[in-house]
Amino acid sequence: MQGSDRFAAFRSPVGRMVPLVAMGLIWQAVSATKLIDPSFLPSPLRIGHAMVDLLTGREICDNLFVTLARAAIGLALGSAAGVWLGLMMARSPKFRAYAAPIVGGTYSLPKSALIPLFILWFGIGTATTVCAVFLSCLLPMVVNTFQGVASTPRVLVWGAQALGARPREMLWQVFLPHALPDILTGLRVALGFSFVLAISSEMIASTNGIGKLIFMYGENGAYDYMFAAIACVVVVAFVIDRLLLLLTQKCLRWHESATERGPA
């Protein structure tokens, strides 16, 4: 009991900031003592000044908006297609026989390796980034939706059929509600992939976006501004992830997992 009370403070919002503050202090000390060349690893204070400078201008906001728009489009399309494919694979053995080898073969493929191919097909710009994000978000949604629908208890299915539920009613009232926790878990995984692939693609195949901005700062040796741009992305991604987590908890208030899951 005393052990659990001892670590209770670290589970509070303030307690969770302790490791970040400690890491920042160590980073500042390493930079101040020049154990690592500050030109290559700027101190948190220099990065903070650079972040303030970026936020007072339009450059970071405009490029961040472009990246978020591309990531959102790819995430939305990939999630919708992934839910449909996962549902079809779970409900149709014939469809699963054809689709499963493709999904299994491409799941472990690094999606960033396909960016040069997308450049060849779609050129440099938004289409390439959206396609890369789409593919990275598609597979987690397929796998999680399939798992959620396929694990629906037979008792629920038989009970609904005995009550005369039609196929459309079975879909909306039995299969999708049962699969919702898995679908939302897949969506959270896909959200992380959407940021990674959007920024990676913009570094290679775009003339704007936060990924291109980070690449240009690094190429020009402005590492304090590069880290500041990365920090902005981290903050935005963290806020969006927290909002998705809150939405998940609201949507799953009826589910037993709502009492078991806490903010991660």
CA distance 201 to 132: 7
The pLDDT of residue 55 is above 90:
no
What CA–CA distance (Å, rounded) separates 242 from 195? 15
Token digits for 179? 């699969």
Examine the pLDDT at 260 and tell me if it is beyond 70.
no
- CA 43 from centroid of its chain's CA atoms: 28
Domains of the chain: 1-39 (no CATH), 42-258 (1.10.3720.10)
pTM to 2 decimals? 0.81
Mean pLDDT of the chain: 82
Q: What is the pLDDT of residues 184-223, one digit of tens each?
A: 999 999 999 999 999 999 988 888 889 999 999 888 888 8
Per-residue confidence (pLDDT) for residue 69, from 0 to 100: 93
Position with higher pLDDT, 18 vs 46: 46
DSSP-H helix ranges across the chain: 2-6, 13-32, 44-56, 59-91, 93-107, 115-122, 126-150, 154-162, 167-170, 176-205, 210-219, 223-251
When pLDDT is cut at 50, 70 and 90, the band that residue 9 belongs to is low
> Does residue 131 register a pLDDT over 80?
yes
Taking 80 as the threshold, does the pLDDT of residue 132 lie above it? yes
The rounded distance, in Å, linking the Cα atoms of 218 and 228 is: 11
Query: Which whole number is the average pLDDT over 243-247?
Result: 89
pLDDT of 151 above 90: no
